[in-house]
Amino acid sequence: MSVRLADIVDVLDETYPPSLASDWDAVGLVCGDPGDLIESVTVAVDATAEVVDTVGPGGLLLAHHPLLLRGVHSVAADHPKGALIHRLIRSGAA
């Protein structure tokens, strides 16, 4: 069964309203096309390299700790967090 990413985000936003997050917290979609179909969801505390490697095409990584929290100046592939984002995008995951 596939579900549109936008529909998953809507359910999460209704269940966990972003307005209830702390001012410093980062909530929401980091990468992915809201129109894409999601076939699997990986739930993790942190978006580590090991976790990202388990998310395949059509997968969604739902992480408790945001990948991008404080001021981000680059998501270049040669920076640790940028490398994870690039891996997710290249694999067709969100």
What confidence tens digit (pLDDT) does each residue in 33-45 have?
999 999 999 999 9
Mean pLDDT of the chain: 91
Give 81's pLDDT tier (boundaries 50, 70, 90): confident
> What is the pTM for the complete model shown?
0.82
Please, which residues bridge with residue 40 across strands?
A: 59
62-78 pLDDT, tens digit per residue, is: 999 988 877 777 788 88
- Residue ranges with strand state E in the chain: 3-4, 37-38, 40-44, 59-63
* Measured torsion, CA atoms of residues 45, 50, 56, 62, in degrees rounded to the nearest 10: 10
Tokens 């929290």 belong to: 69
The average pLDDT across 47-62 equals 94
How many CB atoms are located within 10 Å of the residue 53 CB? 11
Domains of the chain, earliest start first:
3-91 (3.40.1390.30)
